[in-house]
C-alpha cells in the first residue's frame, strides 16, 4: 500500500492541476500590469540595486502609492534622506503596511496591506529620525502622486480582518490561504494553549495545549468569512480526528478559532452541511485566544523553499 506521505503528494498534484491559480487571477483581473523587473521585486521579493531607484533622492510633496494596487502607503512628510541607497520613510499611512518575519530570521519584511506586494524591510534603532524607524522601500514598488496632481487612481483605504484556522501542519494551510483571492496575508503560529510565547519545540511536545494555527488577514470587501471558512474545510481533511495526514498529535487537530458568535454560527452551519453530506466532521469550534506567530523560518515555508504542500490539497465539498 502507498504510504500516506506519498498519497498526500499524489492527491495534491491531482487537484492542483484542476483548479485555477488565485494568484494568477488576481494579477490579471485586479491589479496593475507589472514589468518583469517589477514582478521580480513586488511578487518575488527581490531588491533593486542601491542608489538606482527613481525615488531615492526624490523629495517632492505628495503621496506614495503601491504600484500593484494603488493603495496609498506613505506621505512625503515621512520621507527622509538616509543615504542607504533606497527611499526611506519613518512612518506609514495607518493600516497601509503589514510587517512579516523575513525568511532569514533576522529582518522584518514590509508588504502592502491590501495586495501583499513586497515593499522592502523595516529597521529600528538607527536613530536617523525622532521616530527611530526606517522603512527601506524599493522605488519599483511605488508610484507617486504629487499634491498638485489630481489623484485619478481612486484607491480607497485598505480594509482588513483576521480569521484563525488550524488544520494540521501550518505550512500547507498558510500556503493555500496566501494564494487565495481576497487574502492579504497568512501567518503561521500557535493558538489555544496556556503557555506564553511558545516555541515550536514547546508545541511539538504536545504539552502546551496549542494548535498549529494560521492567522488569515483578509479584505472583507473582496472575500467573506463564510468563503474563507468553506475554503478551510476544503483544503484539509476535517474528518481526521488524530491529526492531519501523517502529522499525528494534539497540536495538529482541526479547529476553527472564532472571534465572535457570528463566526461561530457560520462555522457550525458549515459543519452541519458537511455532516448532511455524510462527512463525519471532527473539527473543534474554539473561542479565539492570543495568537503567537511562529518562528521566522516557518513563515512562507513552501514559497521560500520552492516546494508544494505534501499533505494539504483542495477538495470541493460545497456547492
66, 115, 136, 311: the active-site residue:
136
Angle formed at CA 188 by CA 246 and CA 240, multiple of 5 degrees? 30
- Tell me: pLDDT of 299 over 90: no
**Average pLDDT score over residue span 47-57:** 92
* Per-residue confidence (pLDDT) for residue 315, from 0 to 100: 87
Whether 155 and 65 have beta carbons less than 8 Å apart is answered as: yes
Q: Tell me the pTM.
A: 0.57
* Chain segment 79-135, per-residue pLDDT in tens: 999 999 999 999 999 999 999 988 777 899 999 998 999 999 999 999 999 999 999
Pick the closest to residue 236 from 256, 222, 216 (CA basis).
Answer: 256
Q: Does domain 32-146 have CATH number 3.20.20.70?
A: no
Chain centre distance of CA 257: 17
Say yes or no to pLDDT of 25 above 60. Answer: no
- Spatial distance between the Cα atoms of 270 and 311, rounded to a whole number of angstroms: 22
Q: Flag whether pLDDT at 29 surpasses 50.
A: no
Mean of the per-residue pLDDT values of the chain:
85
Q: What is the pLDDT of residue 9?
A: 42
Residues 198 and 20: their CA atoms lie apart, in Å, by 37
**pLDDT for residue 181:** 86
Interval 131-181: pLDDT, tens: 999 999 999 999 999 887 665 454 454 567 899 999 988 888 998 998 888
Q: What is the pLDDT of residue 13?
A: 45
Pairing of strands 161-167, 108-112: unpaired
CATH number for the domain formed by residue range(s) 4-26+159-304: 3.30.1060.10
Rounded CA Rg of the chain: 21
pLDDT score at 2: 42
**Residue whose cell numbers read 467573506:** 224
| Catalytic status, residue 69 | no
Q: Which regions of the chain carry the CATH code 2.170.150.20? A: 32-146
SS (H, E, C) the chain: CCCHHHHHHHHHHHHHCCCCCHHHHHHHHCCCCCCHHHHHHHCCCCCCCCCCCCCCCCCCCEEEEECCCCCEEEEHHHEECCCCCCCEECCCCCCCEEEEECCCCCCEEEEECCCCCEEEEEEECCCCCCCCEEEEECHHHEEEEECCCCCCCCCCCCCCEEEEEEECCHHHHHHHHHCCCCEEEEEEEEECCCCCCCCHHHHHCCCCCCEEEEEEEECCCCCCHHHHHHHHHHCCCCCCCCEECCEECHHHCEEEEECCHHHHHHHHHHHHHHHHCCCCCCCEEEECCCCEECCHHHCCHHHHCCCCCCCCCCCCCCC
CATH 3.30.1060.10, the chain: domain bounds: 4-26+159-304
- Rounded distance between C-alpha atoms, residue 78 and residue 252, angstroms: 44
The rounded percent of the chain whose pLDDT value lies above 70 is: 86
Active site residue 115: no
What tens digit of pLDDT does each residue of 184-202 get?
Answer: 888 899 999 988 989 888 9
Q: What is the model's pLDDT at position 206?
A: 81
Q: Could you say which of 69, 112, 115, 169 is catalytic?
A: 169
Predicted confidence (pLDDT) per residue in 30-39, tens digit = 578 888 899 8
pLDDT per residue as tens digits for the range 229-240: 999 999 999 999
Which sign, positive or negative, has the C-alpha torsion 185, 188, 194, 197? Answer: negative
Amino acid at each position: 500500500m502507498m504510504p500516506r506521505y506519498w498519497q498526500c503528494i499524489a492527491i495534491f498534484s491531482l487537484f492542483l492541476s484542476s483548479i485555477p491559480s488565485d494568484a494568477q487571477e488576481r494579477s490579471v483581473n485586479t491589479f496593475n500590469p507589472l514589468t518583469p523587473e517589477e514582478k521580480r521585486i513586488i511578487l518575488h521579493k527581490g531588491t533593486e540595486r542601491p542608489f538606482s531607484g527613481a525615488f531615492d533622492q526624490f523629495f517632492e510633496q505628495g503621496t506614495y502609492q503601491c504600484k500593484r494596487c494603488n493603495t496609498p502607503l506613505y506621505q512625503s512628510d515621512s520621507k527622509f534622506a538616509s543615504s542607504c541607497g533606497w527611499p526611506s520613510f519613518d512612518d506609514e499611512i495607518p493600516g497601509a503596511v503589514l510587517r512579516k518575519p523575513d525568511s532569514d530570521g533576522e529582518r522584518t519584511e514590509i508588504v502592502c496591506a491590501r495586495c501583499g506586494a513586497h515593499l522592502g524591510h523595516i529597521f529600528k534603532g538607527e536613530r536617523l529620525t525622532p521616530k527611530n524607524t526606517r522603512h527601506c522601500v524599493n522605488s519599483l514598488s511605488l508610484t507617486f502622486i504629487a499634491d498638485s496632481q489630481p489623484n485619478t487612481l481612486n484607491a480607497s483605504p485598505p480594509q482588513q480582518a483576521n480569521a484563525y484556522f488550524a488544520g494540521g501542519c501550518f505550512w500547507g494551510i498558510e500556503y493555500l490561504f496566501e494564494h487565495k483571492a481576497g487574502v492579504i496575508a497568512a501567518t503561521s503560529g500557535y493558538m489555544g494553549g496556556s503557555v506564553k510565547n511558545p516555541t515550536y519545540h514547546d508545541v511539538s511536545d504536545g504539552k502546551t495545549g496549542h494548535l498549529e494555527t494560521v492567522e488569515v488577514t483578509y479584505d472583507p470587501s473582496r472575500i467573506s468569512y463564510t468563503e474563507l471558512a468553506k475554503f478551510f474545510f476544503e483544503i484539509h481533511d476535517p474528518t481526521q480526528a488524530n491529526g492531519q495526514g501523517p502529522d499525528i498529535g494534539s497540536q495538529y487537530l482541526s479547529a476553527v478559532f472564532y472571534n465572535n458568535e457570528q463566526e461561530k454560527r457560520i462555522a457550525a452551519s458549515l459543519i452541519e452541511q458537511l455532516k448532511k453530506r455524510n462527512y463525519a466532521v471532527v473539527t473543534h469550534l474554539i473561542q479565539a485566544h492570543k495568537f503567537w506567530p511562529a518562528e521566522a523560518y516557518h513563515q512562507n515555508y513552501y514559497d521560500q523553499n520552492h516546494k508544494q504542500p505534501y499533505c494539504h490539497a483542495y477538495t470541493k465539498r460545497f456547492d
